[in-house]
Amino acid sequence: MVLSRSQISEFEEVILNVIQKEVFVVSLSKIMGDVIEEKMSVLINKYEEKITDLREEISDLKNKNLQIEKECNKKVDTLKQHCRRNNLRFFGLEEADNENVENLIVAVLSQNLNVKVSASCIDRCHRVGKKVKDGARSIIVKFTSWKFKNEVFRNKSKLKGTKIRIAEDLTKRRVTEMKLLIEKFGRRSVWSIDGVLFYKDAPGTHRHNLNATSAPNEPSQKPSQNILTSSPYKNELEQTQEKSQTNKVNSVKRKLTKNVQALSKTTKKSELRKPKQTESDSDGDVNDADCLYSGEFYSRSREGWISCSSCQQWAHSACAGVENDDDEAMFIYELCQ
């Protein structure tokens, strides 16, 4: 069945009247919103499962990395301490300008410790740190053999009653651990042998575990790690995701309503201009516009013109493929579709 032009016009008017009604807009928005919400819910649930799996995998990788890091730090610290096994640190020796540190150490060992020593037993020695006005810096001594270093260290008790003190050259990590032990048990109850820390409490003597994160008999200060897949963290995560999903759906509905309302306003008949001679009015102004296709100006054209229903720009009727005398014609530019 072929419809006449008047029937088509009446049919278009009925459609426009229906589209422009608020009930139609609200109903269409609700239907499309429900469909979009259902589709988005399926997608969100799918990606939430993937995100949960990825989070668990990341958590496992973090735990493995922490274990690897601990093992590496432990091995590095052990190697560093092994490199210092022939070293001793001397404290309380007065510092003088242009002093010979090697001769000073030899004198202390022979006079205070009664250890027969010569300069050949010392590989190198020097003061540590920046020079200060009031006070003496410590001296680090590297002996040529562990046996000689051990002999010197075993006789350090002979320095009791003097200002001189001898200690092993410990790594930064072991120095920190030793300070914690001294704060808890006192200086007299904490010592080291070949880099290994020991402490003495009421029950007896114990070897300190360097892997401990705090001093003995104290709770660890390491923060606990929360498992995202357990309650109440799981409930909190689900509530956050549900709120985010609701916000997304509401945003889509608002945009859809605006688009439908804009569509109902812009689906009016396109305006059609008749050919006009290129003449200026009394003020000398010209009603001008350029064709979307050819670029020719309206003031220089004698053809019919039609405007795009979407962008309101103008084009020749012939360029738009519309008959010049068709008052019911509708035109939408290709780039606006």
Cα–Cα distance between 114 and 183 in angstroms, integer? Answer: 33
CATH 3.20.20 fits 269-278+288-337, yes or no: no
Q: Is the CB of residue 55 less than 8 Å from the CB of residue 300?
A: no
Please state the pTM of the whole predicted model: 0.48
pLDDT at site 266 = 44
Burial of 277 (0-12, 13-18, 19+ CB in 10 A): exposed
> Amino acid identity of 11?
F
Report the 10 Å Cβ neighbour count for 139: 21
Half-sphere exposure of 201 (CA within 13 A, CB side): 12
Report the 10 Å Cβ neighbour count for 120: 7
Report the 10 Å Cβ neighbour count for 122: 18
CATH 3.30.70.1820 fits 85-169, yes or no: yes
pLDDT at site 32 = 85
Q: What are phi and psi of 51, to 5 degrees?
A: -65, -40
pLDDT at site 202 = 73
Per-residue pLDDT tens over the stretch 291-309: 877 777 777 777 788 888 7
Strands of the sheet containing 190-193, edge to edge, are 190-193, 196-200, 205-207
Positions in the chain whose pLDDT score sits under 70: 1-3, 203-205, 207, 209-241, 248-249, 252-287, 324-329, 334, 337
Sign of CA dihedral 284, 287, 288, 291: negative
pLDDT at site 30 = 82
Written in H, E and C, the secondary structure of the chain is: CCCCHHHHHHHHHHHHHHHHCHHHHHHHHHHHHHHHHHHHHHHHHHHHHHHHHHHHHHHHHHHHHHHHHHHHHHHHHHHHHHHCCCEEEEECCCCCCCCCHHHHHHHHHHHCCCCCCCHHHEEEEEECCCCCCCCCCCEEEEECCHHHHHHHHHCHHHHCCCCCEEEECCCHHHHHHHHHHHHHHCHHHEEEECCEEEEECCCCEEECCCCCCCCCCCCCCCCCCCCCCCCCHHHHHHHHHHHHHHHHHHHHHHHHHHHHHHHHHHCCCCCEECCCCCCCCCCCCCCCCECCCCCCEHHHCCCCEEECCCCCCEEEHHHHCCCCCCCCCCCCCHHHC
pLDDT at site 213 = 45
List the chain domain ranges: 5-79+231-266, 85-169, 173-214, 269-278+288-337
pLDDT at site 276 = 40
pLDDT at site 19 = 72
